[in-house]
Chains A and B, each alone.
Chain A
Amino acid sequence: GAGVSQTPSNKVTEKGKYVELRCDPISGHTALYWYRQSLGQGPEFLIYFQGTGAADDSGLPNDRFFAVRPEGSVSTLKIQRTERGDSAVYLCASSKVAGEVDTQYFGPGTRLTVL
């Protein structure tokens, strides 16, 4: 079956611009996560959705970052007034339920470059 998909695969933008990154989870998965991998680091947790609501957004670095999942399926990560430090690979994952032993299935990521 189809896995997690993310679009675009690459995004180049200029400092100060607004970007949207999209995630299509595996059908039927209620839990959705966003992670960010900066150069030389492991992926870091940003936000977790259970259904339509953001159950935990404690990893969002500041108020320029926002994410939605209006119908409990597709999610969009939105970054306002991008900065060069936002350059990273943004990974989305989904799981059937949210728990420590439930495998999270990842998409291929969106590589964001802020010039």
Chain B
Amino acid sequence: ILNVEQSPQSLHVQEGDSTNFTCSFPSSNFYALHWYRWETAKSPEALFVMTLNGDEKKKGRISATLNTKEGYSYLYIKGSQPEDSATYLCAFSPGTYKYIFGTGTRLKVLA
């Protein structure tokens, strides 16, 4: 059974703080790793798709890194803002269209 784990489950940070969280996935049969941001009552928003070991992606204050050999990806948020409050989901693709999701990290940014 392929397992994707995310940590921490939830965290609270102050506005302006930088933060990061982790997605761990099987290092074998890796094809792609996707990150989504999911705000309450909205659609999950695609942030990044990462395919190569050592990949780094950036979108505004959010960036992500990928290590396929050890099976993890980090998501970083620089200078957190209240609007960053959301659940961040990662999804692992083991060579098919079937995403295998982690349980998400719930971020709350306090003003």
Contact = CB atoms under 8 A, between A and B. Distances in A.
Q: Do A and B make up one complex?
A: yes
Contacts of A1: none
Interface stretch (A14-22, A62-70, A76-84, A105-113): A105-113
A98 interface: yes
Given A42-B4, A42-B89, A91-B44, A104 B99 contact: yes
A88 interface: no
Residues of B in contact with A, size category: 20 to 34
Contacts of B46: 103-105
A106 to B, nearest CB: 4
B33 to A, nearest CB: 10
B51 A101 contact: yes
Label chain A's interface by main secondary structure.
loop
A107 B99 contact: no
Nearest to B93: A100
B31 A101 contact: yes
A43 B101 CA distance: 6
B4 A48 contact: no
B76 interface: no
A42 B101 contact: yes
Interface string B56-95: 0000000000000000000000000000000001010111
Given A100-B32, A103-B34, A108-B41, A44 B101 contact: yes
Interface of A: 3-4, 31, 33, 35, 40-45, 48, 56, 59, 91, 95, 98-109
